Each structure stands twice: as structure tokens, then as C-alpha cells.
Amino acid sequence: MIGLITQYGLALIFAYVLIAKLGLPIPADPALIVAGALAAGGEFSALAVFLVAFFACAISDATWYAAGRLYGHRIMKHLSRISLSADSSMRQSEQRFHRWGRLALVLSKFVPGLSTVMPPLAGAMRLNGWAFAALDGVGTALWVGAAISLGMVFHLEIGRLIVRLQEFGTIVIGLIGMLLAGYISIRWWRRHRFYSRLRMARITVITGCQPSATSQSSAS
């Protein structure tokens, strides 16, 4: 990651944060932490990294908010499919939105999974556009600033860790790939199990409510 960020600079940080926030199942935090460490080493300006990441996240959130305004809760079902999240997770996110109020847009940036869900949910709930922009901007600024600051504070430790990881080479890459595949498999299994139980519950309700042919004949 350091090699790529050093080679392609701020453009890579912008693209990485943008596609991560648009819904691709990759974490954006490590890239910002590494960028913060490089900024501490003089490779980049910390302010430039902050602005690039902030606007990438703002563009993504504005896109999801507009989709929520246009398509309502239908966009939430689409998001649950591409994110491998069951509908129950989406309902929990909506409950948090009602419980926390508008503050949910700020806090969601620090909760895995919620940062992608909240912008379209805010659009579907018809939150005012200016209020969304202000609250989402505050949350984005805090999240981006925290990640970059973390990288700058611990840049020496991060550098040592990366050197150690590079010594293992392809072993680390393979291990990360296995962990990612395992994570996606577990999410898919949990989603499949949720819908299987939901179908069984519906079948039970339908068969329990409909009178059988024997009972109908005896009644007649």
C-alpha cells in the first residue's frame, strides 16, 4: 500500500476512499492511516490528504443520499444485497437512526457497516439536504481527521510493522486473502440462514392459517 500511495499519490487515496464508501467491501481506514504515516514522514501534506479523503467521502455520501431520496426504501434492499447484509441489519440501522436522531450521521462514521447505510437511509427518511450535508460533513471531518492523526502519531510503529510484514511477503498476502474470503463466506451464510428461516416462518404461517381439506369436508 505504501508503494502504491507513494507512486500514485493523492489520486489513489481519493479513488480508494471513494470506491470504499460507495459500497465495495474494503476498509478505507488503513489507507488513511498509512497516508497519515507518510504525511508525518514528509511524503504528503496532511491537509492535502485530509481534503482529498473528505471530498471523496462527501461525493460518495451525497450519491447515496440522492439515491435514497429518489428511490426511498427500495435502495436499502438493493444495498443489503450488495453488502451481504440481511434485512434485519438494515432494520437495526433504521432503529439506530430513530434512536440517535440526526446525531446518527455523525456517529455512524465510526461504526463499521453504518457509514454506508446512513446516507441512503437519511435520504429515504426525507432528511433536509442542508441538514444532511452539515451533519455528514462533521462526521466525515472527525473520521478522516482521526484516521490521519492516528497514522501521524504512530508513524514509527506503523513503519516497523510494515517492514515486518514485508519480510513474510506472499504469506501475509495469502493470509489476508483467506481472512477476507472467510469474512465474506460467514456474511453470506448468515444472510442465507436469515432468509431460509424467514421462508420457513412464512410457510408455517400460511399452512397454519389455511384449513385442511379434511377439516373442510368434515365441516360440510
| Predicted local distance difference test score (pLDDT) of residue 83 | 56
Is-above-0.75 flag for pTM? no
SS3 73: coil
Regions of the chain where pLDDT drops below 50: 84, 86-88, 198, 210-220
| Predicted local distance difference test score (pLDDT) of residue 191 | 57
| Predicted local distance difference test score (pLDDT) of residue 171 | 67
| Predicted local distance difference test score (pLDDT) of residue 213 | 46
| Predicted local distance difference test score (pLDDT) of residue 219 | 46
Contact yes or no for 93/118 (Cβ under 8 A): yes
User: What percent of the chain is helix, strand and coil (3-state, nearest 5)?
Assistant: 85, 0, 15
Query: In the chain, where are the structural domains located?
Result: 2-168, 169-208
